[in-house]
Amino acid sequence: MKRANLEKAYRLARERYAELGVDTDRALRAAARIPVSMHCWQGDDVGGFEGAGSALGDGLAVTGNYPGKARTPDELRADFEQARALIPGTQRINLHALYAENPGRRVDRDAIGPAQFARWIDWAKDLGIGLDFNQTYFSHPRVKDGCTLSHPDKAVRRFWIEHGIRCREIGAAMGRATGKTCLTNLWIPDGTKDTPADRSGPRERLAESLDAIFARRLNPRHNVDAVEPKLFGIGSESYVAGSHEFYLGYAVSRGKLLTLDAGHYHPTEGIADKISAVLQFLPERALHVSRGVRWDSDHVVTLTDDLQAIAQEIVWGGYTDRVRIGLDYFDASINRIAAWVIGTRNMERALLLALVAPIARIRAAEREGDATSRLALLEEAKSLPFGAVWDFYCASQDVPFGEAWIAEVKRHERDVLSQRT
């Protein structure tokens, strides 16, 4: 589409939205300010660079072997930049501890520090983006019997407590260096395949371990902490120590953020309704946006009803400054850069869709008890000319609109990714 036609289509769309009281120009400015944290592990199948000697496991699995996987930190950073150039809005990058850079020597997870992430920090500063961080409690020989912080062996717990302490120091260093607060997230795989005889003991040990990790107060301008629950996983089908109820209680009682992962619930259970519920009791909360197919399969995020409901709750609830949006999926069956672009553009698309919805009119009908008009307006909004608004937004952000970005990914695959063997 020619630029003149693009602008004409946007003007017509703007007029239509204005009839419903929606200022699309204002919506575009708002969308550009909402950061989305892109997950580094999409680029290399959660492989990392620490050389710990353990294959991916402890509840995680990747499907596919598409050519062109990033093999080094520099390749991963270059791939991220390629993806980011095709996505509108504001992005951050979300790292895991197993992405430490230890050239020439092995540094175990209980000994890592900011030095192992210095190149990541310098790179983020050069790009002007924020960093988020995840403690890594999987794919390591010190995961014993599927457990880490809740394990009955004090030595096992001590190793992982030290890892958590050091990860918080890394997160604080990232926030201090970039000037953008780092979210440091904690998820553990601890649980049992079959029904345990003791449910309380692991949770008592987990609470004690968490208190030890969080004992030191860090500057909240540099680092904020989050804990992430899960319903079940591979190898923890019957019992998870860090359940939803456990971490909700812990977050509220200890003043930590709660991370809700869209794939960590029953397959038919959405997380949108949980956002406002949790924010009645916590100042902020974090999201890991994913797409589970029958289980926590971490499929590429698509523009589903569930995704739109999440974005609507964030935007319509006025929570854009209180919800930290992160993505969490990994697909090796397609071009990995394309997977980044598709999922992140869909998150951005869902947010913009929520921003241009005629919510003032819909809520007015609701206040008046007019459920008929409320439902009718919600449905009619679905056929408003959003495509023209989205295309104009992409063009105004100097990224390809429509399907044009696919050619860029294919060119990069031909010229760069195909050379990786």
> Which positions are catalytic?
187, 228, 230, 261, 264, 288, 296, 298, 328
Between CA 54 and CA 292 the distance in angstroms is 25
DSSP state of 134: E
Between CA 169 and CA 156 the distance in angstroms is 21
Between CA 78 and CA 81 the distance in angstroms is 5
Backbone angles phi, psi at 231, to 5 degrees: -75, -50
User: Of the candidates 258, 267, 257, which has an alpha carbon nearest to the alpha carbon of residue 299?
Assistant: 267
Burial of 419 (0-12, 13-18, 19+ CB in 10 A): exposed
- Say if residues 405 and 26 touch (Cβ distance below 8 Å): no
73-84 and 404-415 helices, crossing angle to 10°? 160
The answer for residues whose C-beta is within 8 angstroms of residue 35's C-beta and 6 or more apart is 89, 90, 91, 92, 130, 325
* CA within 13 Å, CB half, 416: 17
DSSP state of 68: -
